[in-house]
Each structure stands twice: as structure tokens, then as C-alpha cells.
């Protein structure tokens, strides 16, 4: 009986491929998250610059905003693909998001971001 298990251990198992695919998808999400963080910093700087100059959104600010929307869309699509691949229902993600969300009075608003 032990020989059967030993033989099984020597071969690639289906779960190995599953976890490898999950890791690839996670790395894509991590890369997108890093890009979003970098563009967010640039966007905040551009917002502050526009605010200090008392001018409407500059072309750079609008470009960065569009870039953020595009990256967020890609992130959401990749997250959805991962969710479907591993079979986690929406309710689980909603509960996780709700648990991570600070109380309403401790959240940042657009005006807070411009002040910082």
C-alpha cells in the first residue's frame, strides 16, 4: 500500500498545477497593485499642484485619473478571474472587504486626500 502512495508523490499532482496557476494570477494582481500605488502617488501630487494653482484639473491630472481607472478595471477583472478559478463566492469577498473597512468616521474622503 505504501508503494502506491510513494508512486503518487513522485508524479505531478493536479493540486500542484492549481496552486501554480493561483500563484501566477496572484503575481499579476500584485503587479497591478504596485502600479496602482505608484500612479496614485503621482495623481495626488498632480491634484495638490492643481489645487495650489487654483486651476481646474490639468491634462496631467486627467491623464493620471484615466490611467488609474484603467488599472483599477484591469485589477478588478484579474481579481474576478481568480475568484472564478478558485470558486470563491462574492459574499466571502464582501465580508473580507467589510472587515477591512475602517469605521465610517475614520475613512478618508476626496477633500482629505487633497489636504495631505
Asked, for residue 105, whether it belongs to a domain, the answer is yes
Cβ-based burial of 64 (10 A; exposed 0-12, middle 13-18, buried ≥19): buried
Residue 10, domain member (yes or no): no
In the chain, how many domains are there? 1
pTM equals 0.67
Contact 78, 32 (CB under 8 A): yes
Say if 6 falls within a structural domain.
Answer: no
In a domain, 93, yes or no: yes
Structural domain boundaries enclosing 59: 15-115
Q: Is 20 exposed, middle or buried (0-12, 13-18, 19+ CB in 10 A)?
A: exposed
Residue 85 lies in a domain: yes
- For residue range 6-56, list pLDDT tens digits in order: 444 544 666 788 888 889 999 999 999 999 999 999 999 999 999 988 989
Amino acid at each position: 500500500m505504501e508503494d502506491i502512495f510513494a508512486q503518487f508523490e513522485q508524479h505531478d499532482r493536479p493540486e500542484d498545477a492549481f496552486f501554480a496557476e493561483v500563484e501566477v494570477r496572484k503575481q499579476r494582481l500584485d503587479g497591478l497593485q504596485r502600479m496602482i500605488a505608484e500612479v496614485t502617488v503621482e495623481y495626488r501630487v498632480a491634484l495638490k499642484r492643481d489645487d495650489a494653482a487654483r486651476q481646474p484639473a490639468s491634462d496631467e491630472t486627467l491623464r493620471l485619473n484615466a490611467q488609474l481607472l484603467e488599472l483599477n478595471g484591469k485589477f478588478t477583472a484579474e481579481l474576478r478571474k481568480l475568484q472564478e478559478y478558485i470558486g470563491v463566492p462574492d459574499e466571502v469577498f464582501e465580508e473580507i472587504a467589510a472587515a477591512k473597512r475602517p469605521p465610517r468616521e475614520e475613512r478618508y474622503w476626496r477633500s482629505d486626500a487633497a489636504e495631505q
